Amino acid sequence: MTWTGWNWAERRWEPSVRSIEFAGGCDPDEIGFAKHLDLVNRVVYNKAHTGFDAVRLLSGDQGFYYYRLSRSQEYAASRHGWSLQATIQPIQGLASVNLDLGPAGGRYDLHVFLDPSGKQIVQLTTKIEKGIDGMKYTIEGPPDAFHDYQLICGSGVRSARLLVDGVERLRGYSGHHEYRSDYGLVFGTLLYHSDRAEAVFKRVRLEINPVD
């Protein structure tokens, strides 16, 4: 997924693979993701109990899966834009999906959690070191529902907009530059007003836009 190819028109290297995706109940380790820190995964049955369609991630602190991008992928995403999609159910702590573009750009964090009343909150994080905070949107509905998230950053634009279940809810998100580790595409769970962290992921996908 990190191969590159020569762009004859612009005479530079470009990623020949523009999408990276985890979907269903497969093991992320088997499709190129690596595990980091304290993390346990369990596959989740579909409603009919005939197979698996998600993965449950658990941690006593924080843990995540990551897929490192090549430099050509990072610069192509920064130059041409990208889309980050995820289907998530938070249970306790934070459910987290991140994109770190390394030296080519900033870090973009999408966090989902339950507030004290049980409502789901999606947050586009702008700071971490002095307390996790950012742009928020409250999602109506049951606390155990899955929701689809799409963070979109267009070509030549440094800020992203967020769609929740296909409807735009936040815009003007420019990411941040804290705790840069060049991990690429990341998803996981961590403590947040909780003693344990737990979240369920049905899908995580990064798509890099093609050359204009």
Q: Residue 37: pLDDT above 50? A: yes
> Has residue 2 been placed in a domain?
no
Domain-embedded: residue 14 = no
6 within some domain: no
Domains in the chain: how many in total?
1
Tell me, yes or no, whether 171 lies in a domain. yes
Does 150 map to a domain?
A: yes
- Nearest CA to 33 out of 207, 180, 184, 209 is that of 184
Query: What residue has token string 């523009």?
Result: 18
HSE-CB at 57 with a 13 A cutoff on CA atoms is 33
| 25 located within any domain | yes
Token pair of 73 as six digits: 């992928």
Backbone angles phi, psi at 87, to 5 degrees: -120, 120
CATH value at residue 89: 2.60.120.200
Using one digit for the tens of pLDDT, what is the confidence trace for 99-133?
999 998 889 999 999 999 999 999 999 998 888 88
Q: Measuring CA to CA, which residue among 149, 24, 38, 31 is closest to residue 83?
A: 149
Residue 12 in domain: no
Interval 135-180: pLDDT, tens: 999 999 999 999 999 999 998 777 999 999 999 999 999 999 887 7
Strand partners, 186: 66, 98
Residue 73 lies in a domain: yes
Output phi, psi for 175, to 5 deg. Answer: 75, -155
Query: pTM here?
Result: 0.90
Give residue 108's domain range: 20-208
C-alpha to C-alpha distance for 13 and 7, rounded to whole angstroms: 6
